[in-house]
Structure 1
Amino acid sequence: MNTAIQPGYKQTEVGVIPEDWHTVPLGQVVTFQRGYDLPHRLRKNGDVPLVSSAGVTDRHCTAMAQPPGVVTGRYGTIGEIFFINEPFWPLNTTLYVRDFHGNDERFIYYLLKPFDFASFSGKSGVPGVNRNDLHAEMVSLPINITEQTAIASALSDMDALLDGLDRLITKKRNLKQAAMQQLLTGKTRLAGFEGEWEVRRLGDLLTICHGKSQKDVETIDGAYPILATGGQIGTASRALYDQPSVLIGRKGTINQPQYMDTPFWTVDTLFYSILKNNRHYL
C-alpha cells in the first residue's frame, strides 16, 4: 500500500525529501582528496595535527590542508568522521574534503556521519575506500545554505549537550570510585559506625561456583535470564541459583562483575558466588 506524501515533500530515488531540497551525486557536493604520505623519519616537532584514519595521532610543523576540514579513513579505521578546526596534514590512510562546493562545512560533516563507509571498501576491486565510488553515491540536502547552517548549528548544540553530559557522568563515576576506595578500605567511616575491622579470607565469606551449559534449559519464553560475561544472552526454563549473588567472569570479559538479586542461570564462562553468612557483604 502506497503511503501518501505530505504536502511540501517529494519522492526521490533516495526517499521522501522536502520539495526545496535536491538529490545529487556526492561528487557534486564535495570533492574528496587522498591524504599525503609522511614517514615518521620525516616528521618534525610542531603544532600541526597529523590526521590518520583513527583521528589526530601525531603533530608536525607543516600543514597540507586548511580548515575547516572533514576527514575520514581510506585504510585502517574506516567509518569515523573527523572535523578539523585548524590547519592540518591528512595522512595517506585518509580521504579529506578538498572542496565543499559552497556548502556548509559543518553540515557536510553531519551529512557524512551516517555513511556506511565500510561498504565502499574494495567496491572497485581495490582495497580501501575509493573516492570515485563515494562521489557516485546519491545524497539529498538543502539547496539553501542558510538551512544547511541552521541544521549544522542545531546538531552541534546537541553534540555539545551530550559532551557535557558525558563529562558529568565521568566526573560522577570518578567520585563514586574514590568513595568506594575510601569506604571499602575503612579510611572513611560512615556516621554512626565505629570499631575495628577484621581481615578475612574471601573464601571464608563466600563460595565461588562454576556456571553450567545452558543447552538443556534454554528456551525462548523462559522465566530466568541466562547470563554470560557480557550480560544476558537468553532465557532459561529454570534457575541455576535463586539467591543474591555476585557473578565474576572466568573467560572473556573478566573485569565487569555483575550483581543479581533474582533467580538466574550462568553459563560456564561465568562464576557465581554463594554467600556463607551475611548477605550484606554483597
Structure 2
Amino acid sequence: MKEGYKKTELGVIPDEWEIKTAGDIFEFTGGLSISREKLGEEGVNYLHYGDIHKRNENFIDLDIDEQWLPKFNKEYENIKEGAKLETGDVVFADASEDYEGIGKSVAILNYDNKPFVAGLHTIVGKEKCNLLDEHYKRFCFSTTNIRKQFRSLATGSSVYGIKMSSLKRIKILTPPLKEQQKIAQILSTVDSQIDDTDKLIEKTKELKKGLMQRLLTKGIGHKEFKKTEVGEIPVEWEVIRLGEIVNIKSGNSPSKFNFYDDGKYPFFKVDDMNYSTKYLSIGKLYYNESNFDLMNRGMIIFPKRGASIFTNKILILDSDGFFDTNLMGLICNEKVNNEFLYYFLSYYELSKIADTSSIPQINNKHIEPLIISLPEMKEQKQIANILSSVDSQIEEYQNKKTKLEELKKGLMQQLLTGKVRVV
C-alpha cells in the first residue's frame, strides 16, 4: 500500500481522511408536500423535486435562481423549520423515474436568508457538526461509490425512491476541511467553464435562428421584393412546389434485411436521429447486400410518423445506406441545393403540415404541395455556407463542452477519492 494511505470499506484512502455516514453529519427532515398546481409567481421560494432533476447544476444560488423558482403564498413563520433552506443545506430528491436520478441532490446557497423552502418529494439535510465545506457538498454525493450506494438502497420498480432512514446510512468520504475547499475550488472552476460554454452555445443558436429568418426570407443583398403566397420575397426568387424539386423516398422494413456486425452499409432508424450535428452517418445495424435501391449520401431524411415529428429532427444522410419505414427521404434535383433545403425545412418546421388526426404522420400528400421560395443556385449555396459556418461554431462549442465534462468526471474520480491529493 502506498505510504500515507489506509485500506477501508470504501477502498484505499488517505490517512487523514475519514468515513462518516450521512446520519453522522446531517439532521434530515422532509419537505413540504405542495403540488405544482398550487404554485405561482409570488410568495415564498419553493424547491420542487422535479426542478432538482431538471437542473444541470449541482447547487441552487438564490441570488441567481430566484427568478425562475416557483413560489407559493404562505406565512413563512408558520412553515416548519426543517423545510426552510439556508446556505449549507443539501436537498435530495427522494423519487426518480430512473436509476441515475436516485437521491440526486443540490447544495443551497442563500446568503441573504431569503424565504426558501424544500418541497414535494425532497429530503433536507442540515449539517450538525461542520465537517463539510458548503461548496464541497455540491460534489461529494456524485462519486461513483456514493451513486452505487444510492442505487443499492433504492426501492420501487417503475418509480424509484430513497427513504430518509436509508439516506442516513450513506457513507461519505470526508477529507480535511482545507482539502475539501481546494477540491471544490478546482471542480467549481471546471463547472464555470462548462457554464460559460453553454452560454456560448445558446447565444450562437440564437444568432443562427435570426440568420435563418433573415436569409431564408430576404436573401443576401436584395433591394426589391414582391408579395407572394409565402410572404414578401426578393423579386429574383421563384415560388415553387416542393414536389417539383425533390424525389420522395420511403424506407423499408428491417425484417427484410440480413444484418451483420461488420456489414458494409448502415441501416438507419428513428433512434439514430438523435445527433447534435446535421449529418447522419452512423447506425446501430449493418448489412452487406439487399434487393432494394441504395439510398445515397446527400439525401435529406426526417421522421414521418409518431411524436418524433414534433422534434423537427431533420438530417442529411452522410453515408450510403437504408432507413426504415418511419423515416422519409428527399432527393434534390438540379434546381435545389440539398443543404439549402435542409435549412429551409428546419426553419419551416414540418410538424405544421403533419396529419394529427390519430397518429401524427407526414406523407407524400403533405410534402409535394408544400410551397417554398427558391433563390438561384448560387445564392442557395451562399446561404447554406453562411448557416453551415454557424453550425460549425456551435459544434465546436459542443465538442469543447463534452471535453470539459469528461475532464470534470475524471477529476471527480481522482480528487473525491483521494487518489490525487491537492495541497
Pairwise TM-score range, normalised by the shorter structure:
0.7 to 0.9
Which position in structure 2 is the counterpart of 1:109? 138
Deviates more, 1:222-231 or 1:34-43: 34-43
Q: What's the secondary structure of 1:178's corresponding residue? A: helix
The equivalences for 1:76-225 within 5 A come to 78-79=101-102, 80-86=104-110, 87=114, 88-99=116-127, 101-102=129-130, 103-114=132-143, 115=147, 117=150, 119-122=152-155, 128-142=161-175, 144-185=176-217, 187-189=218-220, 196-215=236-255, 216-225=257-266
TM-superposed CA distance for 1:113, in Å, is 3.1
1:227 to 265, 268, 273: 268
- How many percent identity over aligned positions? 25
Runs of 4+ in 1 over 6 A off after TM superposition: 39-45
Cα offset, 1:67, TM superposition: 2.2
What SS class does the counterpart of residue 337 from structure 2 fall into? helix
Shift of 1:139: 2.5
Relative to structure 1, is the Cα distance of residues 162 and 230 closer, same or farther in structure 2, using a 3 angstrom cutoff? same
Q: Residue 260 and residue 37 in structure 1: after superposition, are their counterparts in 2 closer, same or farther (change >3 A)?
A: closer
Counterpart in 2 of 1:265? Answer: 322
Q: 1:41 to 1:205 in 2, by over 3 A?
A: closer
Instruction: Measure, in 1, the Cα distance between the counterparts of 2:211 and 2:90.
Output: 42
CA distance in 2, matches of 1:41, 1:275: 49
TM-score (norm 2): 0.57
Task: Give the distance between the partners of 1:109 and 1:167, measured in 2 at CA.
Answer: 21
- TM-aligned CA deviation for residue 278 of structure 1: 4.1
Q: Is the 8 A contact 1:214 1:236 kept in 2?
A: no
CA distance in structure 2 between the partners assigned to 1:150 and 1:269 by the alignment: 52
Higher relative contact order (CA 8 A, sep 6+): 2
Is the partner of 1:207 in helix, strand or coil?
Answer: strand
- Give the aligned partner of residue 248 of structure 1: 302
Q: Determine the C-alpha separation between the residues in 2 that align with 1:188 and 1:42.
A: 48
Quickly say closer, same or farther: Cα 1:137–1:68, change in 2 above 3 A. Answer: closer
Contact 1:206 1:273 in 2 (8 A): yes
Please state whether the residue corresponding to 1:7 is helix, strand or coil.
Answer: coil
Structure 2 unmatched runs, 5+:
52-68, 223-233, 273-282, 340-423
- How far apart, CA to CA, are the structure 2 residues paired with 1:261 and 1:183? 25
Q: Alpha-carbon deviations, 1:183-228, whole Å to 9, x = none?
A: 122x13169xx86000111111112211112332321112222222
1:30 to 2:31 alignment: no
RMSD, matched Cα: 3.0
Residues 48 and 119 of structure 1, relative CA distance in 2, 3 Å threshold: farther
Query: Could you tell me how far 1:6 is from its partner in structure 2?
Result: 3.5
Matched-pair contact (CA < 8 Å) for 1:244–1:279: no
TM-score, normalising length: structure 1: 0.83
Given the superposition, is the C-alpha separation of residues 146 and 47 from structure 1 closer, same or farther in structure 2, using an over 3 Å criterion? Answer: farther
Q: Conserved in 2, the CA contact under 8 Å of 1:69 and 1:97?
A: yes
Higher strand proportion (structure 1 or 2): 1
Give, in whole Å, the separation in 1 of the partners of 2:210 and 2:36.
Answer: 40
Q: CA deviation at 1:165?
A: 0.4
- After superposition, the C-alpha distances for 1:131-168 in whole angstroms (9 at most, x for unaligned) are 211211223231x1111111112211211111110000
The CA deviation at 1:235 is 2.1
After superposition, give the CA deviation of every residue in 1:219-277 in whole Å (9 maximum; x if it has no partner).
11122222222323322324831241011112352211111132122112111222233
Hey, which of these two has a bigger chunk of helix by percent?
A: 2
Distance 1:101 1:180 in 2: 56
Q: Name the aligned partner's letter for residue 169 of structure 2.
A: A
1:109-149 CA distance string (max 9 Å, x none): 211134364553327xxx7321211211223231x111111
Evaluate the alpha carbon distance shift between residue 44 and residue 52 of structure 1 in structure 2; reply closer, same or farther with a 3 A threshold: closer
Which amino acid in the other structure matches residue 251 of structure 1?
Answer: R
